[in-house]
């Protein structure tokens, strides 16, 4: 394809309306946003505190994030067998089963195991959803489709936060059961709405690229014979020595501090800024709702400028917001709670830029790391999970030794280091023969 034809194709894609970018299964993925992004992070700590101690809250939330480390395994499974539709269904069901069981147990070790199960199900569903775009759609459509996919996820998160605010006034157990019901509904809708050939497009030029010898039961047998753990870890080492590895390092380090903040968010806002938990939850929902507007714009900006540029802008905006919160936290914090909530809104809005550009960079840099797109998506999800585990544990330790305001300083330090690595990503891409966030062919 010539440069002129590629340019004409890009303009044609840009002129398509949102109906051409949105597929029916995006609405199903919105239920994932409601459960994983909105309900579970609020309901699990409340359920544990009711029958346990704050120490168990940290362990449960760390286990929930730890479940995301199974993402490379699911990405590898998807590459070896042609059952991506059923892998998505299984992810929803794992989450639902974990939530139902969580509502009827008071044993700490069971809490941790069930949180790990829920996190694994969420990682499985998230990895499959992103892979459905980068594996089954032309590269020219990735940013736009990812932007709309995250828009639906964010819309579900807003709905989940608002629904949680209503349900916790009655009973936390009821909230957990409702969340489980939404996960089961999502699994059922995948069966009803999608075709057995899903996610392959009806007449698309880019079908899912799986090894020809790895189809159906034969691919599954080969997968088991070669060892799931070995296959899950195989793509790690090449990725660490590539531009994709630098991007993962930037993402991981910067999100450790952010994860520490969000794991303590309601308590931190109350202790440092005097904001009631109910108000904090409502502001979070409003900010997430405003962020929906930025998802499509982020996808377009990745296409027009570059995913690296959008990623750097998102990191800079979040760094500025945490610096503002830190300054307020060190100078008469309780008298400026309204200003803290306004600044916190910027923290949430920056996520719209980061998640779209981060997913796009993962897809485009996967070639430089000698991994498939499915493996790269799994590693990307796993990096987020690692930052969540480390951030939750480190945030609790820092708050216990130096106070909750110190968690804001931790967030600032992590973002500073992560932002400093962004120029290295661009330089490494150029040096390895890539441009515009993707490799170019050598003549």
Per-residue pLDDT, 80: 62
- Six-digit token string for 260: 């520490």
Look up the CATH number of domain 21-200+208-232: 1.20.1250.20
Give me the pLDDT at residue 373, please.
66
Pick the CATH number of 235-443 from 2.60.120.10, 2.40.50.140, 1.20.1250.20, 3.40.50.300: 1.20.1250.20
Q: How do residues 150-201 score in pLDDT, each as one tens digit?
A: 778 888 888 998 888 788 766 888 889 999 999 999 888 888 876 655 555 4
Specify the DSSP element, H or E, that contains 76.
Answer: helix 71-80
* Residue 41 confidence (pLDDT): 85
Which residues, at least 6 apart from 20, have a Cβ–Cβ distance to it below 8 Å?
none
235-443 has the same fold as 21-200+208-232 = yes
Token digits for 371?
């991994």
> Which helix (H) or strand (E) segment is 102 a member of?
helix 84-102
Residues of the chain with pLDDT under 50: 1-15, 201-233, 237, 430-436, 438-443
Q: In 103-194, where does DSSP find H-type helix?
A: 108-136, 142-167, 172-193
Domain locations along the chain: 21-200+208-232, 235-443
Q: How far apart are CA 125 and CA 28, in angstroms?
A: 11
Calpha distance 391→258 (Å, rounded) = 7
Task: Indicate the angle between helix axes 405-431 and 373-402, nearest 10 degrees.
Answer: 150
CA of residue 246 relative to chain centroid, distance: 18
- pLDDT confidence of residue 349: 92
284-338: per-residue pLDDT in tens?
A: 888 988 887 887 788 888 888 888 889 999 999 999 999 999 999 888 666 667 8
Please tell me the predicted confidence (pLDDT) of residue 335. Answer: 60
Q: Are 373 and 312 in contact (CB under 8 A)?
A: no
pLDDT for res 139:
65
pLDDT value of position 203: 42
Count the neighbouring beta carbons within 10 Å of the beta carbon of residue 197: 13
The DSSP bridge pattern shows strands 438-439 and 434-435 to be antiparallel
pLDDT at 99: 93
- pTM summary value: 0.70
């Amino acid at each position: 394809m010539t440069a002129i034809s590629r340019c004409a194709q890009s303009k044609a894609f840009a002129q398509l309306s949102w109906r051409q970018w949105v597929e029916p299964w995006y609405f199903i993925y919105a239920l994932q946003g409601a459960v994983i992004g909105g309900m579970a992070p609020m309901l699990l700590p409340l359920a544990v505190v009711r029958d346990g101690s704050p120490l168990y809250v940290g362990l449960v939330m760390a286990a929930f994030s730890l479940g995301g480390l199974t993402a490379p395994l699911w990405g590898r499974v998807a590459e070896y067998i042609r059952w991506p539709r059923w892998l998505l269904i299984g992810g929803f069901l794992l989450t639902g089963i974990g939530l139902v069981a969580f509502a009827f147990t008071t044993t700490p070790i069971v809490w941790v195991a069930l949180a790990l199960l829920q996190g694994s199900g969420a990682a499985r569903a998230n990895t499959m959803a992103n892979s459905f775009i980068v594996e089954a759609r032309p590269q020219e459509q990735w940013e736009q489709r990812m932007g709309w996919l995250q828009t639906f996820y964010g819309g579900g998160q807003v709905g989940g936060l608002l629904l949680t605010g209503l349900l916790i006034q009655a009973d936390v157990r009821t909230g957990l059961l409702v969340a489980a019901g939404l996960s089961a509904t999502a699994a059922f809708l995948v069966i009803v709405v999608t075709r057995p050939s899903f996610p392959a497009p009806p007449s698309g030029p880019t079908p899912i690229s799986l090894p020809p010898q790895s189809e159906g039961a034969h691919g599954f047998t080969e997968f088991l014979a070669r060892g799931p753990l070995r296959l899950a870890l195989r793509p790690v080492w090449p990725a660490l020595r590539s531009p994709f590895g630098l991007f993962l390092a930037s993402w991981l380090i910067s999100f450790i501090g952010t994860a520490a903040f969000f794991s303590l968010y309601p308590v931190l806002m109350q202790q440092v800024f005097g904001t009631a938990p109910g108000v904090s939850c409502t502001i979070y929902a409003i900010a997430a709702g405003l962020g929906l507007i930025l998802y499509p714009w982020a996808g377009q900006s990745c296409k027009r400028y570059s995913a690296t540029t959008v990623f750097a802008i998102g990191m800079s905006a979040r760094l500025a917001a945490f610096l503002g919160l830190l300054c307020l936290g060190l100078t008469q914090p309780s008298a400026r709670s309204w200003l803290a909530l306004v600044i916190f809104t910027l923290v949430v809005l920056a996520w719209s830029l980061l998640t779209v550009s981060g997913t796009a960079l993962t897809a485009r840099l996967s070639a430089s790391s000698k991994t498939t797109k499915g493996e790269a998506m799994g590693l990307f999800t796993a990096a987020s999970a690692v930052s969540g585990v480390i951030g939750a544990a480190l945030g609790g330790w820092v708050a216990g030794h130096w106070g909750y305001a110190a968690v804001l300083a931790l967030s600032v330090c992590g973002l500073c280091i992560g932002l400093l690595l962004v120029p290295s990503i661009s330089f490494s891409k150029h040096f390895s023969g890539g441009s515009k966030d993707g490799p170019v062919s050598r003549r």
